[in-house]
Amino acid sequence: MIEKLTKEAIQLLQKLIATQSFSSEEDGTAALIEKWFEKNEISFKRNNHNVYAFNKYFDADKPTLLLNSHHDTVKPNSAYTRDPLNPEIIDGKLFGLGSNDAGGCLVSLMALFTYFYNHKDLKYNLIIVASAEEESSGQNGLNSMLPILPKIDVAIVGEPTLMQLAVAEKGLLVIDCITHGKAGHAAHGLGDNSIYKAMEAIEWFRTYKFPKVSETLGEIKMTVTQINAGSQHNVIPAECHFVVDVRITDAYSNKEVLEIIKRHVEVEVKERSLRLNSSSIPKEHALVKAGIALGRETYGSPTLSDQAVLTCSSLKLGPGDSLRSHTADEFIYVNEIEEGIKIYIDLLTDVIV
């Protein structure tokens, strides 16, 4: 059965690659996912472009394990030398947009769910969500599914990790800052230069160290990434705008970090969102222990995924390599998918059977 599921999963991935599915435009790939469930006689539902299903013997008295990955893609960059929607296999590499991020993970999780769908007496319920709008952090992605789903106790989020165990992931806080001064003629030196005020705040962002350091993710990293001020060379600017990208560890919540920033800098601070928090799973969790027993290593991930919208413990795990994501001529090795499905099944066999 595993060999058959693996072959069909690779075929599905080829079809997904060939179907354009930029964020918010995933109708075609959602239809392909529905066909997989129909073919395997799995009951499913759809909410916008999110397709989801429960295992056949779902029991509300049992804890629930969520399997999630996304079927949207970013737009291909200009450096592509191949047709991004042409799923070719060459020398063991399956090329195509979304093959690595995160099509290989998605079809592997779908094979996993299908393998366990008809099992009775599982220790955990299983829910799979093939979600939309992950790449754009959109409002109609996994976050829109959480009010619809039953309580989730733990999750496996499929993202390319080389099938190593990402037991923690940094969150993201983007803040817009404004310093206010007073306009004046540069020749006279009159006015109050907002750029100089911004420089003081920027230096704080560059040098401040948060007291708590995460065991798996290290320190919080704050980076000023954009700055804009002034209208012409001889006018002292009354306002200076700059943007700070803050990568937050599991030692703090986004709200806590924002409060610390506001206490330390004398600038106008406005957060874009507080919902993309860091995430983690205890190393003592059965999923992590089972993964370690299978020879997998643990690490902390600096990249953001749909884990950020979950409040339960979550493990990021999937075939493929994160370094290939969003690159030109994206690919995943076929044997990475084959290995991924086997490891997923071995992992859950140890935990839920």
pLDDT digits (tens, 9 = 90+) for 231-268: 999 999 999 999 999 999 999 999 999 999 999 999 99
Please state, in angstroms and rounded to a whole number, the distance separating the CA atoms of residues 123 and 352: 5
Q: What is the mean pLDDT of residues 202-223?
A: 96
CB 129 within 8 A of CB 50: yes
pLDDT tier for residue 285 given thresholds of 50, 70 and 90: very high
Residue 32: which residues within 8 A CB-CB, separation 6 or more? Answer: 12, 15, 16, 19
Task: Evaluate if residue 303 carries a pLDDT over 90.
Answer: no
Amino acid (1-letter code) at residue 319 = P
- Tokens linked to 15: 């079809």
Judged on CB neighbours under 10 Å (0-12, 13-18, 19+), 263 is exposed
Please state, in angstroms and rounded to a whole number, the distance separating the CA atoms of residues 298 and 214: 14
Task: Evaluate if residue 204 carries a pLDDT over 80.
Answer: yes
pTM for this one? 0.89
- Tokens linked to 281: 């799973």
Determine phi and psi for 56, rounding to 5 degrees: -60, -40
Order of all β-strands in the sheet with 268-271:
221-229, 239-248, 171-180, 268-271
Residue-averaged pLDDT of the chain: 96
DSSP 264-314: H--SEEEES-S----EE--TTSHHHHHHHHTT--EEEE-S--GGGG--SEE
Q: What is the mean pLDDT of residues 79-106?
A: 98
